[in-house]
Amino acid sequence: MNENRENLLVVDGMALLFRAFYATAVSKQFMFNQHGIPTNGVQGFMRHMFAAIRQSNPTHTLICWDMGSQTFRNELYDGYKAGRTAPPEEMIPQFDLAKEVAAGFGFVNLGVPGFEADDCIGTITVQASSSISTTVLSGDKDLLQLIAPTNDVWIMQKGYGNYKRYNEATFFEEMGITPKQFIDVKALMGDTSDGYPGVRGIGEKTAIKLIQEFESIEGVLNNLDKLKPAQQLKIQEDLAMLELSQKLAKIHTEVPLEMNLASLKYNGFRDDAFAVVEKYGLKTLTRDIE
C-alpha cells in the first residue's frame, strides 16, 4: 500500500465493543458511571480506537455498526445467526452509549438497516479505493475477503494495539489462496458462529485444498469426477446449501450509502474531549487524552 497516500481507518464497531465488554465482564468490572449506566465496554472500545489510531496514523476515520439483527441474509436463510445468545443486560445500554461517546470525540458512526457492518465496511473500502487507502480494524476474519491492493485488514489479538496485519502478500503466504477465494472456502466449510453449515463433513483444510486445486466452487463442481467418492457424495447431497452458503459468506459491497470523505477527516482530539469524559463518567480514558 502506498505509504504517502491518505489513509482511512474503517472500524468494525461491534467487534471492538464486544471484545472490550467481555475482557472485563468476566471479573464483573462493569464500571457504572454517575448515571448508573455500565461503561466497561465503552471505555475499552474507545481505548481500542485510540490504540489503532496511534498505530495506523490515519488521515480519516469511520466506525461502522450493525443496525439491528435483521438483514437481507435472514431473508435468504432462516438459520442465519439464529444460534447467537442475547447480549448480557449490562451490555445493552452500551450499544447506544458507544455511538454517543464516539460522536462526542468527533468520529462518524455509520450503519444501514438491512445490512451488516461488514457490508458497509466492504462498500466503503471499494468506494474509497480510487482516492484513498483503507485499513479495516476488526476481530472478524470474514473481513479478510476484502483485502485488496488499496485495503489492508488488521485482526485484533489479545490486549490493546496488538494486531495481525494482513495485505495481499501476507494473506496468500498464510492461506495459500487469494482473498476472493476465501469466500468459496467459507462457503464450503460453513460458519458455525453465523449458523450456516456449508457442505457437511468438509472442514477448513479440505475446503482450502479444493479451492487451491480447482480455483473456485465452480471449478470444483466442474471437476467432481476427480474428487474422492466420499467428497463427491457430500457435495452432491449439499449442493443447494453450498450455493446458499456462498451468498451468505460473501460481503455485499454495494450498500446504498454515500461516502463523504471530507466529513471523515481526523484531526486529533477535539478541545472538548475532557468534557465528553466528564459527561459520561469515563474515568479510565483520562490518561489516554492527556
CATH architecture of 5-171+250-274: 3-Layer(aba) Sandwich (3.40)
Give residue limits of the domains in the chain: 5-171+250-274, 175-247
Residue 86's pLDDT band, with cuts at 50, 70 and 90, is confident
Reported as a single tens digit per residue, the pLDDT across 192-239 is 888 888 999 999 999 999 999 999 999 999 999 999 999 999 999 999
Provide the pLDDT confidence category of residue 25 given band limits of 50, 70 and 90. confident
* Residue 156, beta-bridge partner list: 163
For position 3, what pLDDT does the model report?
A: 57
What's the CA gap between 267 and 67, in Å, rounded?
Answer: 27
Q: At what angle do helices 273-280 and 92-104 cross, to 10 degrees?
A: 160
* Sign of the torsion angle spanned by Cα atoms 57, 260, 111, 168: negative
| Pairing status of strand 109-110 against strand 133-138 | unpaired
The predicted structure's pLDDT at residue 4: 63
Query: Which pairs count as long-range contacts for 233-239, CB under 8 Å and 24+ apart, including other chains?
Result: 234/199, 234/200, 234/201, 234/202, 235/199, 235/202, 237/200, 238/197, 238/198, 238/199, 238/200
Mean pLDDT score, 38-49: 96
> Is pLDDT above 90 for 181?
yes
Torsion of CA 244, 211, 124, 141, to 10 degrees: 90
Q: Where are the beta strands (DSSP E) in 86-162?
A: 109-110, 133-138, 151-156
**pLDDT of the residue at 2:** 52
If you classify domain 175-247 with CATH, what class do you get?
Answer: mainly alpha
Give the tens place of pLDDT for each residue, 59-80. Answer: 999 999 999 777 888 788 777 7
CA distances to 25, 38, 241, 278, 283 from 34, rounded to whole Å, are 19, 10, 50, 10, 11
Residue 174, Cβ density class (10 Å: 0-12 exposed, 13-18 middle, ≥19 buried)? exposed
Share of the chain above pLDDT 90, in %: 80
Mean pLDDT, residues 88-105 taken together: 95
